[in-house]
Amino acid sequence: MLLSLRIDWDRVGRRDVYPFDLPAFAGLDEIDLDAPVVMFVGANGSGKSTLMEAIAVQLGCNPEGGSPNFRFDTANTLSDLHRVMRLARRIPRNTDRFFYRADAFHVLATEMRRLDAESSFGPPIKTFYGGQDLHEMSHGQSVMRLLRHRFRGRGLYLMDEPEAALAPETQLEVIARIVQLCGEGARFVLATHSPLLMALPGALIYELDETGIARRAYHELGHVRLYKRFLGDPHSVVARLTAED
């Protein structure tokens, strides 16, 4: 459904201001997005959420999360990236879309509660999430509701740090559910720090760092290598961190 992404640098005014000053974007010409799962991986502040937000807006989703039907805006922090981003796509009309972002999910759940309290047309929004107000569940439980009840085959879903609220075993459930939905034609774009999610079969993984955005295999990823080193010998890694010179 998503084919590729590029930045139209001719339309960028100043390259020395956010978001165009981010090293990950500097050399970004065109990247391939044509896979059931595309993943953006990288250190804090590398630009993953900036990229996810721009893609979400290009797809008509609310930059602070939700489907195209949600229109709330609490902080107005959207960057100008979406204005110069060219997203090649082939998306059938009526394709279901949703942008989940861990850092704003509480706001989204509050907005759903507000809409359900005031709207009299059609079934309450919570019906599409299994019937329960998301504020009555834990964060992790509501993420699973979203994946199990709200997301469906042939939809297009963006998730920024879906693992933030999830125990490892639940992350494995997420992998199984995403594989199932992709088998039914859904497509996912994820930003993640989770080495579990990075193992999603067939994922096209891009690592953002000081040198740009590069496609990487699972075992080449900086996060995966760090986790391996740590889990191989956690106490000596910590001892080295805390050792006095």
Ligand X SMILES: Nc1ncnc2c1ncn2[C@@H]1O[C@H](COP(=O)(O)OP(=O)(O)OP(=O)(O)O)[C@@H](O)[C@H]1O
50 binds ligand X (CB under 6 A): yes
46 binds Mg ion (CB under 5 A): no
170 binds Mg ion (CB under 5 A): no
76 binds, among Mg ion, ligand X, none (CB under 5 to 8 A by kind): none
The distance of closest approach from Cβ of residue 205 to ligand X in the complex, given in angstroms and rounded to an integer, is: 14
Taking the C-alpha atoms of residue 30 and residue 37, their distance in angstroms, rounded to an integer, is 17
The type of residue at 129 is Y
Edge-to-edge strand list for the sheet holding 187-191: 97-101, 156-160, 187-191, 37-42, 204-209, 212-215
Cα 184 to the center of its chain, rounded Å = 20
Counting residues that bind ligand X (by CB under 6 A) gives 11
Question: Which range binds ligand X by CB under 6 A, 6-14, 48-56, 61-69, 136-144?
Answer: 48-56
The distance of closest approach from Cβ of residue 106 to ligand X in the complex, given in angstroms and rounded to an integer, is: 16
User: Which residues have CB under 8 Å from 213's CB, separation 6+?
Assistant: 24, 25, 27, 28, 31, 40, 206, 207
The distance of closest approach from Cβ of residue 207 to ligand X in the complex, given in angstroms and rounded to an integer, is: 11
The distance of closest approach from Cβ of residue 143 to ligand X in the complex, given in angstroms and rounded to an integer, is: 16
79 binds Mg ion (CB under 5 A): no
77 binds ligand X (CB under 6 A): yes
The distance of closest approach from Cβ of residue 48 to ligand X in the complex, given in angstroms and rounded to an integer, is: 4
Identify residues 49-78 at the interface with Mg ion (CB under 5 A).
49
Residue from 2, 48, 158, 163 that binds ligand X (CB under 6 A)? Answer: 48
Which residue's CB is nearer to ligand X, number 5 or number 125? Answer: 5
Taking the C-alpha atoms of residue 200 and residue 203, their distance in angstroms, rounded to an integer, is 6
42 binds, among Mg ion, ligand X, none (CB under 5 to 8 A by kind): ligand X
Residues that bind ligand X (CB under 6 A): 18, 22, 42, 44-50, 77
